[in-house]
Structure 1
Amino acid sequence: MRRTLTEKDVEPAVRGGSVYAAGGGGWADHGRKLGYAAVGAGAPELVSIDELNDDDWVATAAAIGAPASTTPWEMRGVDYVKAVRMLNEALGTPVSGLIVGQNGKSSTLNGWLPSAILGCKVIDAVGDIRAHPTGDMGSIGMAGSQEQMIQTAVGGNREQNRYIELTVRGATAKVSPILRTASDMSGGFIASARNPLRASYVARNAALGGISMALDLGHAILAAEPKGTAAVIDTIVEQTRGAILIEDVVTKKNVVYTNEAFDVGTVVVGSGDKALTLHVMNEYMAIDDAGGNRIASFPDVITTLSTDAEPLSVGQLEEGMRVHILHVPKSVIPLGAGVLDPAVYPSVEKAMGIELAKYALEPSNA
């Protein structure tokens, strides 16, 4: 599979990525800027991993930070390009392709501009189909590895003198928090290129086809829009093979920004015995019913849709707002090695105060 990405793919990538953003995954306008800049600057090419040689280098293009629009972040398209250039310099050879750690409102498009400018391919693979809070979750199994990795970060609020360039080497779990700290210092959102790995490893451990999934969903959403909101929601449900758990009002929101550049807390939708509690760490990570029973849990896709069928980030939610909650079980999506790695869960469970690993690592029912 090989295709040139064009301006006709930008909006579908943003729309489909917004559903898989799971309440996070960047900003739609940022995604559009990245996409249109990429197709204007060159011809980014989407290819399957088997188009590369086994020993070609593939890195992850990512954006690190929290999505609630509560911080003075600034990230430019050139920052994504500079991050890949810095990684190439540290590696000593150019990477042949880029995957993204996750889908999202902008993160689905993270590799497009470096591809257009530097000539590397956009690989049709992701670390995780849906967005997640930590880089380790999208690291396709490297979180527990002692292998020395390279990670770069570029970006920051220029007016506030927060611009940062950073190249670090070390075991993934040890250096990822450094980039998270850099993100906070830069204003809350920073571009990165990280973890160059051989294409053969990516083929075995990434969630293959993840970019195409977002693009196909986005094209389907756009095709359904002339038929009205109900048709769009039905299309999202059908295309993702998910279900709407509830349509009700946000009755309580308690989410705070931490010094580690995370938005953590809970959102309650509905009331009484029908109330659902969404647990948040940048994205929606779990849902408990009114009795405290877990009914959805990462890496399931959990998304809030407005009454106009717009996927809403955590930062957009307000008490009194009516929303639909979409749930797509992990059994119907490709899973990367990162979300099946026990090493990625302790820090997230500690921050959130809930169990995740036992649900994520139990066998799928599919």
Structure 2
Amino acid sequence: MPGGLPVPNKKAIEWTLLLGLALRCEIPLRSKFDRKNYFYPDLPKGYQISQYDEPFCINGRVSLPGGDVRIHRVHLEEDAGKLLHKTLEGSKVSLIDFNRAGVPLVEIVTEADIHSGEQAREFLKKLHQIIRYLDISDADMEKGSMRLEPNISVRPAGETHLPAYKVEVKNINSFSFVKKAIEYETDRHIGYLEKGEKPPLETRGWNEAKGATFTQRRKEDAADYRYFPDPDIPPIVWEKVYIESLRKQLPELPDAKKERFVKAFGLSEYDASQITDSVERASYFESAIRAAKEGPFATPDITPKAIANWIINKKADETMEPAQLIQTIKTSTSVEEVSDAVVLKAIASVTTANPKAVSDFKAGKEQSKMFLFGNVLKLLKGKGDKKRIMELLQEKLK
């Protein structure tokens, strides 16, 4: 508002520091805000409050199966407005939505450790998961709560230095779109380089309908923005004890939770990854384990593995009470007992009706036994202990 002075959002700063700690960043004890000067319709005051050379968090990393991706910095800035390109009354116009302008926005910048669209997708999914675990944002990309902006350049095979150019693709709202945009840009850059030309430094957008990027504006560098310390916001100095108090607030993060589930519950790496995919699913899983051990539906013989399978295979709606899930598993896995006499009668009926399968088994064709076994189960309508049924069938076939 005209005449208003900026006031840093304490909670946004605290959440930025928590994110930095979760990404294993260093937290410098001194930070400041700067003015980033540029003219664009989505920023009518002509500058953005951001951080230039003293961000809140530096030198972190995210571990992936293919290796670490280093985090260069995590800084806080204000969001700009949203441009909407429309056709009104036959004329093409650009509208501006200022509802999100001035809202705190955290920006995470990686080092040049990502070498493919697929690796970028994996990194972003992991980052999204960590943010959701911290509960500092819903990171809903459809609503613009998390926006993805890859910077892309290509270097000839054998070279080790970074190319002297980069192209940024702005405001992508899907992991798969990021992958496609990187792959498209990589091919486009190679086309330039093979002709002995350097791709132009520019900012581009992604058009999913066309499966292609498009030019938005030329790429600025730091000198173009004429950064200087914001005179209305004093530098921020932390005490180590405060940073450590924030570190103690960190929840159990996805990788640590996955490792614990493997060790404590005997889950496979795959099952543990699926269960810890979201903090809500992981919490539901542990609540179900407690329900299996205690309470009115306690069933100690239902294993964590069985519970995980039900959740992973979506047999259980996570809106179902954990105790109800345990009761459902118990009911579905309980076996209605039948006497040996009933089983033997069913076996006799199946073997009489399938003499060729019996003779094939006796001739050494093991699969014939499974054919007979399946028909016995079908005749018994799933009742009876399968292990006992197989024992009686084998005795009959001797």
TM-score, normalisation: structure 2: 0.27
* Structure with the larger RCO, 1 or 2 (CA within 8 Å, 6+ apart): 1
Higher share of residues assigned strand: 1
Bigger share in helix? 2
